[in-house]
């Protein structure tokens, strides 16, 4: 493979940054969640890239686990969002601001 | 000085071992103080008898010890009793040591002797007072401290006594504290003497610094070798500062006239016979240090001289009988310091003894007069009291004549010897001024006697005055005998007392000058002249002294106010002090310090109020903060790498 | 021109573009679909990095299960209308973008300082993938990482149970409008949901 590994890592960094922007700027809880998934993906990509660089499979194993845990997390997170929606009929995170001064 | 040649007696010495009872001398009054302090109210009248008995007992034991002391040859008359180790800090050690030599022997006899007489008098004088028991507790406590002062074998025990008598003086001057002016007088006495005490404390610190110890034997023995002239001057002047305060010399004399607010026996004991003489004792005791300086003793002399004249003239203008005696005490102390300043320590001590007798006598007599006059103290309202109060009157006359210096009473010998030494050592100016001072003393004491006891009664109280009880008159009689006969103790400058004190204070200064009998005649003449003049003006009826006084204005008023020292201090020191206190309290403390503290509190509050606004409740804001932190952290790591 | 280079330079921009697309879409369903595209591109990257197993798992699990779940919930809740893009918070948007750019710059610097942009992948990965990637992964997984594997399985079970508990129907419902009313300026107490009982037994 001729593509330098660094390009993959840099790509993963860009994707991560984009995911962060999404977390910060979207108000819909589901969209925030999706941005978080984007971040997780980016990290997985960099894990696999480094695994390739070191000629080991540990990175891929780690990415694998990350995916599994991400799946579990999505399940629970969406359940929470559903339950919040049931209470307030809204998934706008700006409406959830009781914990303040 | 021959101090170093004394070989101290040990505890084991003296065939009967009675010297070891020395510690009882201060211990008995201390016991009395404790008992009366805690059980005084229950004892009632017995409190006074107990206190008197204990001081009398102390006198007896003191006499026994002194007799033991004189049983050995003069070079061995030094006994140091070590009670316990008081302070041990590294190489600095101070023991609770008592020292009995000729000088302290003289002092303890005077303190306990005159003290027990005054206690007896107080039993009668203070009868019926609400705080009878506490009075005697304080009085006993005072005697204890005074004894510690004179019996101390080192400067720290002396200082303990020094401070203790100051405390008791405060307690006793302000004994009737319900009247504000009494409390103020007590405060004034304490604060003024405090100034002197501070100087003395610094002097003690210097002594420790230079010598590493405060023990008399060690310090005086090594003084010549250890101290430079400048160091000796410094230490001596600082110690003398303490003496100025305690003995009410210029410029700290202002407290003594006001201290007359206390009960009269207190004035007699503390402010005539004992506490105020502590300054003289200190100077005489510290003579080895004073003599190493070229400046110290002349300073003592000058201050004594000035005080004698200023206070003597002030006494001439007083209308309150006790204030005359107060200024007189200040003036007579000036005489004693004059003597010390001329290295005539024995003469100073002799005068101290004689003065103790006749001044205590006159104070107690004035107390008797005040009692008989139903608490009236203004001499202008008295007159002819010798007929109504014969014992008081005639004993007072004896005391007055002794003070004036009429031969052959004690005061004549004491004063005359001082003037003789002045003349013989070439200090003619001192001699002349001393003689002038003697004339003034005769004048003011004559004025007092003739206004009070002679002439016609000038008020109803004087007309109906009565003699006091035996409890009060007996001490007067005893003291009168002492005032009259004390001259026998030291008929010449090299008399018995001088000889007795010689191992401690050294030889009496000699010299050439006018013949002794010439000087004596001059002295006696001056005394009698002053008394005659006083009689003429105040008792003979030939002079209208009230009108005479008015014509001399403003002099009488200036003298009445003691040359306006109090007013000057009030304007120069007290008013600025009060202003400074006001500023400190209301500006510095209330505005700045409190403002700072409250400001800090307020600042924290404002900070918190602002900081609280960070908690917006918006999750996205918090997330932004996360990101900010993360980016910053990465940047920092990146820079460091 | 080497094939993997071409593939990379085609799919990398697509992944970035789809990510940006996900961010800017107002409609939630559109955003989810853009995310799916992105996941596909990342899967291709895995393929380029000699991880075919992960390529498959990514598509099956991530794109296939997780995103479908997302779409289910979006359409269940009916929030696909999308939120308004007005930004209420002060300086949130500019700051977020600025910080993201700073972050990318830092990554750039770190990568350049770390492995350098020229380093190619070393040879010899075929030896690692002996017997196929799946088999090699299985060997490492069930040998060296067996404990994490077990724990993760327990985690999955817990997640499933949690989801079932959480998503049960509750009793009363408060609309956002009512909440807004309670949170009116005069009684701004901050805790307005105190009439909903958390421990209530579900029907």
- Selected residue with higher pLDDT from C170 and B255: B255
Q: Does C19 fall in a domain?
A: yes
Give dist(CA B582, CA B593) in Å, integer.
Answer: 14
Tokens read off for A17: 């940054």
Q: Indicate if the pLDDT at residue B358 is higher than 60.
A: yes
Please indicate whether, in this complex, the C-beta atoms of B617 and A97 are within 8 angstroms of each other.
Answer: yes
What is the pLDDT, as a whole number, of residue B442?
93
How close A27 gets to chain B, by Cα (Å)?
8
User: Are B4 and B225 in contact, with CB atoms under 8 Å apart?
Assistant: no
Give dist(CA B561, CA B553) in Å, integer.
Answer: 13
Query: Chain C contact for B621, CB < 8 A?
Result: yes
- Mean pLDDT on B500-523: 80
Handedness of CA B402, B406, B407, B408 (dihedral sign): negative
ipTM of this complex > 0.85?
Answer: yes
Burial class of residue B576, CB neighbours in 10 A (0-12, 13-18, 19+): exposed
What is the pLDDT, as a whole number, of residue C172?
64
User: Are B262 and B174 in contact, with CB atoms under 8 Å apart?
Assistant: yes
Give dist(CA B624, CA B357) in Å, integer.
Answer: 96
Among A93, A100, A101, whose Cβ lies nearest the Cβ of B620?
A: A93
CATH of the domain at C44: 1.20.120.1200
Q: How far lies B49's CA from each of B54, B133, B136, B175, B471, in Å?
A: 9, 10, 9, 20, 11
pLDDT band at residue B32, thresholds of 50, 70 and 90? very high
- Residue-wise pLDDT for B116-148, tens only, equals 999 999 998 998 888 899 999 999 999 999 999
Please indicate whether, in this complex, the C-beta atoms of A93 and B627 are within 8 angstroms of each other.
Answer: no
- Mean pLDDT on A93-97: 84
Q: Does C147 fall in a domain?
A: yes
- Residue-wise pLDDT for B194-230, tens only, equals 999 999 999 999 999 999 889 998 898 888 888 888 9
Q: What share of chain A is helix, strand, coil (3-state, %, to 5)?
A: 80, 0, 20
Terminal Cα distance for chain B, rounded: 84
Tell me which of C30-34, C35-39, C176-180 is least confident: C176-180
Please indicate whether, in this complex, the C-beta atoms of C119 and A27 are within 8 angstroms of each other.
Answer: no
Give dist(CA B288, CA B219) in Å, integer.
Answer: 9
Give dist(CA B366, CA B266) in Å, integer.
Answer: 12
Q: Can you tell me whether residue B556 is helix, strand or coil? A: helix
Q: Can you tell me whether residue B520 is helix, strand or coil? A: helix
What is the pLDDT, as a whole number, of residue C170?
63
Q: Give the contacts of B185 (CB within 8 A, at least 6 positions apart).
A: B173, B174, B255, B258, B259, B260, B261, B262
What is the pLDDT, as a whole number, of residue B14?
45
- Residue-wise pLDDT for B259-277, tens only, equals 999 999 999 998 778 888 8
pLDDT band at residue C22, thresholds of 50, 70 and 90? very high
How close A2 gets to chain B, by Cα (Å)?
28
Give the C-side interface with B, CB within 8 Å: 89, 92, 95-96, 99-100, 102-103, 106, 109-110, 113, 190
Please indicate whether, in this complex, the C-beta atoms of B620 and A101 are within 8 angstroms of each other.
Answer: no
- Residue-wise pLDDT for B142-156, tens only, equals 999 999 999 999 999
Give dist(CA B249, CA B245) in Å, integer.
Answer: 7
User: Are B239 and B300 in contact, with CB atoms under 8 Å apart?
Assistant: no
Q: Does C121 fall in a domain?
A: no
Q: Does C33 fall in a domain?
A: yes
What is the pLDDT, as a whole number, of residue B381?
83
pLDDT band at residue B12, thresholds of 50, 70 and 90? very low
How close B620 gets to chain C, by Cα (Å)?
8
- Selected residue with higher pLDDT from A14 and B80: A14
Percentage of chain A beyond pLDDT 70 is 99
H or E, element range at C29: helix C28-48
Burial class of residue B284, CB neighbours in 10 A (0-12, 13-18, 19+): buried
Give the largest CA-CA distance in chain B. Answer: 115
Give the residue from B80, B273, B89, B296 showing the smallest Cα distance to B169: B273
Please indicate whether, in this complex, the C-beta atoms of B613 and A98 are within 8 angstroms of each other.
Answer: no
- In terms of phi and psi (left: phi > 0; alpha: psi -120 to 50; beta: otherwise), the region of C132 is left
Please indicate whether, in this complex, the C-beta atoms of C140 and A61 are within 8 angstroms of each other.
Answer: yes
Q: Give the contacts of B167 (CB within 8 A, at least 6 positions apart).
A: B145, B190
Q: How far lies B440's CA from each of B26, B348, B360, B528, in Å?
A: 38, 19, 20, 11
- Selected residue with higher pLDDT from B70 and B207: B207
| Other beta carbons less than 10 A from residue A7's beta carbon | 17
User: Are B412 and B487 in contact, with CB atoms under 8 Å apart?
Assistant: yes
Give dist(CA A38, CA A22) in Å, integer.
Answer: 9
Contact list, A101 vs chain B (CB under 8 Å): 612-613, 615-617
Q: How far lies A81's CA from each of C24, C155, C180, in Å?
A: 21, 20, 20
- Selected residue with higher pLDDT from B381 and C101: C101
Among B621, B630, B634, whose Cβ lies nearest the Cβ of C89?
A: B621
| Other beta carbons less than 10 A from residue C158's beta carbon | 12
Tokens read off for B360: 């205590």
Q: How many domains does chain C have?
A: 1
Give dist(CA A21, CA C20) in Å, integer.
Answer: 10
Give dist(CA B124, CA B117) in Å, integer.
Answer: 11
- Mean pLDDT on C28-53: 94
Query: Chain A contact for B615, CB < 8 A?
Result: yes
Q: Indicate if the pLDDT at residue C166 is higher than 50.
A: yes
Among A20, A23, A94, whose Cβ lies nearest the Cβ of B618?
A: A94
Q: Can you tell me whether residue B122 is helix, strand or coil? A: helix
Q: Indicate if the pLDDT at residue B5 is higher than 50.
A: no
- Selected residue with higher pLDDT from C110 and B20: C110
User: Are B98 and B151 in contact, with CB atoms under 8 Å apart?
Assistant: yes
| Torsion angle in degrees (nearest 10) through CA of B244, B248, B249, B251 | 90
Q: Does C118 fall in a domain?
A: no
Please indicate whether, in this complex, the C-beta atoms of B624 and C106 are within 8 angstroms of each other.
Answer: no
Among B613, B616, B619, whose Cβ lies nearest the Cβ of A93?
A: B619
Q: Does C110 fall in a domain?
A: no
Alpha helices in B12-129 (DSSP H): 24-43, 46-70, 102-125
What is the pLDDT, as a whole number, of residue C171?
60
Tokens read off for A81: 């969002």
Q: Does C156 fall in a domain?
A: yes
What is the pLDDT, as a whole number, of residue C114?
83
How close A3 gets to chain C, by Cα (Å)?
6
How close B601 gets to chain C, by Cα (Å)?
26
For chain B, what is the mean pLDDT?
Answer: 88
Give the residue from B571, B568, B555, B572 showing the smallest Cα distance to B314: B555
Tell me which of B396-400, B434-438, B512-516, C125-129 is least confident: C125-129
Q: Indicate if the pLDDT at residue B313 is higher than 60.
A: yes
How close B583 gets to chain A, by Cα (Å)?
44
pTM for the model stands at 0.70
Backbone torsions φ then ψ of C116, nearest 5 degrees? 80, 145
What is the pLDDT, as a whole number, of residue B273?
80
Percentage of chain B beyond pLDDT 90 is 46
Contact list, B615 vs chain A (CB under 8 Å): 99-101
Q: Does C52 fall in a domain?
A: yes
How close A95 gets to chain B, by Cα (Å)?
8
B216-226 vs B180-211: helix crossing angle, rounded to 10: 60
Chains that touch A (3 or more CB pairs under 8 A): B, C
Chains that touch C (3 or more CB pairs under 8 A): A, B
Please indicate whether, in this complex, the C-beta atoms of B628 and C109 are within 8 angstroms of each other.
Answer: no
Q: Indicate if the pLDDT at residue B18 is higher than 90.
A: no
Residue position matching structure tokens 């001490």: B475
Please indicate whether, in this complex, the C-beta atoms of A94 and B623 are within 8 angstroms of each other.
Answer: no
Percentage of chain A beyond pLDDT 90 is 63
Give B443-502 as a DSSP string.
HHHHHHHHHHHSS---SHHHHT--PPPHHHHHHHHHHHHHHHHGGGGGSSTTSHHHHHHH
Among C89, C99, C113, whose Cβ lies nearest the Cβ of B628?
A: C99
Query: Chain C contact for A27, CB < 8 A?
Result: yes
Which chain A residues in 2-31 lie under 8 Å from chain B, judged by CB atoms? 20, 23-25, 27
pLDDT band at residue C173, thresholds of 50, 70 and 90? low
Burial class of residue C109, CB neighbours in 10 A (0-12, 13-18, 19+): middle
> Structural domain of residue C7, as residue ranges?
3-83+127-176
pLDDT band at residue B553, thresholds of 50, 70 and 90? confident
């Amino acid at each position: 493979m001729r593509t330098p590994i660094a390009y993959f890592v840099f790509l993963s960094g860009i994707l991560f940054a984009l995911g962060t922007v999404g977390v910060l700027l979207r108000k819909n809880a589901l969209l925030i969640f999706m941005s978080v998934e984007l971040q997780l993906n980016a990290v997985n990509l960099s894990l696999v890239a480094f695994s390739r660089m070191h000629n080991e499979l540990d990175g891929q194993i780690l990415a694998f686990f990350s995916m599994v845990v991400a799946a579990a997390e999505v399940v629970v997170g969406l359940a929470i969002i559903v339950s919040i929606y049931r209470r307030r009929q809204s998934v706008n995170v700006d409406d959830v601001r009781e914990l303040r001064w | 000085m021959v101090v170093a040649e004394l070989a101290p007696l040990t505890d084991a010495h003296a065939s009967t071992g009675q010297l070891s009872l020395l510690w009882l001398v201060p211990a008995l009054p201390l016991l009395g103080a404790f008992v009366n302090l805690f059980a005084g109210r229950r004892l009632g009248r017995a409190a006074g008898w107990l206190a008197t008995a204990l001081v009398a007992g102390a006198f007896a034991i003191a006499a026994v010890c002194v007799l033991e002391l004189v049983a050995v040859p003069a070079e061995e008359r030094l006994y140091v009793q070590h009670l316990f180790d008081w302070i041990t800090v590294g190489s600095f050690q101070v023991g609770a040591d008592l020292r009995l030599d000729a000088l302290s022997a003289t002092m303890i006899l005077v303190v306990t002797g005159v003290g027990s007489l005054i206690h007896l008098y107080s039993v009668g004088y203070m009868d019926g007072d609400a705080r009878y028991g506490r009075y005697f507790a304080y009085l006993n406590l005072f005697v204890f401290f005074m004894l510690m002062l004179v019996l101390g074998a080192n400067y720290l025990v002396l200082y303990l006594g020094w401070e203790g008598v100051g405390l008791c003086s405060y307690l006793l001057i302000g004994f009737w504290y319900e009247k504000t002016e009494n409390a103020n007088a007590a405060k004034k006495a304490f604060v003024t003497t405090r100034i002197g005490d501070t100087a003395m404390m610094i002097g003690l610190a210097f002594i420790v610094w230079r010598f590493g110890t405060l023990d008399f034997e060690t310090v005086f023995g090594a003084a010549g070798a250890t101290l430079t002239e400048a160091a000796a001057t410094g230490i001596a002047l600082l110690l003398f500062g303490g003496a100025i305060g305690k003995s009410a010399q210029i410029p700290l004399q202002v407290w003594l006239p006001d201290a007359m607010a206390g009960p009269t026996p207190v004035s007699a004991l503390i402010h005539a016979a004992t506490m105020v003489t502590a300054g003289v004792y200190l100077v005489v005791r510290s003579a080895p240090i004073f003599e190493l300086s070229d400046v110290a003793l002349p300073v003592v002399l000058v201050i004594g001289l000035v005080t004698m004249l200023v206070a003597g003239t002030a006494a001439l203008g007083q209308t309150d009988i006790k204030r005359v005696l107060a200024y007189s005490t200040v003036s007579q102390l000036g005489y004693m310091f004059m003597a010390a300043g001329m290295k005539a320590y024995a003469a100073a001590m002799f005068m101290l003894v004689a003065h103790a007798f006749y001044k205590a006598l006159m104070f107690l007599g004035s107390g008797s007069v005040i009692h008989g006059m139903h608490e009236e103290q203004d001499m202008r309202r008295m007159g002819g009291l010798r007929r109504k109060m014969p014992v008081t009157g005639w004993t007072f006359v004896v005391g007055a004549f002794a003070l004036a210096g009429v031969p052959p009473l004690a005061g004549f010998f004491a004063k005359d010897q001082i003037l003789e030494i002045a003349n013989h050592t070439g200090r003619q100016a001192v001699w002349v001024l001393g003689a002038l001072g003697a004339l003034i003393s005769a004048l003011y004491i004559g004025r007092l006697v003739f206004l009070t006891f002679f002439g016609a009664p000038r008020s109803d109280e004087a007309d109906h005055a009565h003699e006091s009880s035996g409890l009060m008159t007996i001490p007067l009689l005893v003291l009168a005998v002492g005032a009259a006969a004390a001259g026998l103790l030291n008929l010449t400058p090299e008399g018995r007392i001088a000889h007795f004190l010689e191992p401690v204070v050294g030889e009496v200064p000699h010299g050439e000058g006018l013949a002794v009998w010439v000087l004596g005649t001059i002295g006696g003449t001056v005394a009698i002249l002053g008394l005659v003049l006083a009689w003429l003006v105040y008792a003979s009826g030939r002079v209208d002294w009230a009108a005479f006084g008015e014509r001399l204005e403003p002099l009488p008023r200036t003298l009445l106010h003691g040359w306006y020292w109090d007013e000057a201090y009030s304007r120069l020191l007290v008013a600025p002090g009060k202003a400074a206190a006001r500023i400190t309290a209301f500006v510095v403390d209330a505005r700045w310090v409190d403002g700072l503290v409250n400001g800090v509190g307020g600042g924290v509050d404002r900070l918190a109020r602002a900081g609280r606004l960070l908690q917006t409740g918006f999750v996205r804001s918090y997330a932004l903060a996360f990101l900010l932190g993360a980016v910053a952290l990465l940047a920092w790591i990146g820079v460091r790498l | 021109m080497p094939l993997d280079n071409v593939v990379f330079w085609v799919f990398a921009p697509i992944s970035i573009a789809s990510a940006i697309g996900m961010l800017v879409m107002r409609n939630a369903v559109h955003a989810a679909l853009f995310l799916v595209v992105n996941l596909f591109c990342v899967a291709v990257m895995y393929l380029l990095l000699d991880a075919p197993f992960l390529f498959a798992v990514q598509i099956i699990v991530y794109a296939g299960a997780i995103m479908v779940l997302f779409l289910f919930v979006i359409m269940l809740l009916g929030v696909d209308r999308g939120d308004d893009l007005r930004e209420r918070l002060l300086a949130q948007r500019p700051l977020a973008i600025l910080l993201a750019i700073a972050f990318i710059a830092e990554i750039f610097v770190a990568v350049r300082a770390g492995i350098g942009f020229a380093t190619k992948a070393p040879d010899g990965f075929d030896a690692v993938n002996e017997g196929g990637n799946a088999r090699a992964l299985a060997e490492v997984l069930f040998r060296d990482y067996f404990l994490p594997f077990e724990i993760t399985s327990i985690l999955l079970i817990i997640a499933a149970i949690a989801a079932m508990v959480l998503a049960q129907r509750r009793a009363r419902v408060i609309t956002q409008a009512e909440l807004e009313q309670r949170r009116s300026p005069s009684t701004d107490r901050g805790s307005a949901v105190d009439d909903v009982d958390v421990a209530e037994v579900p029907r």
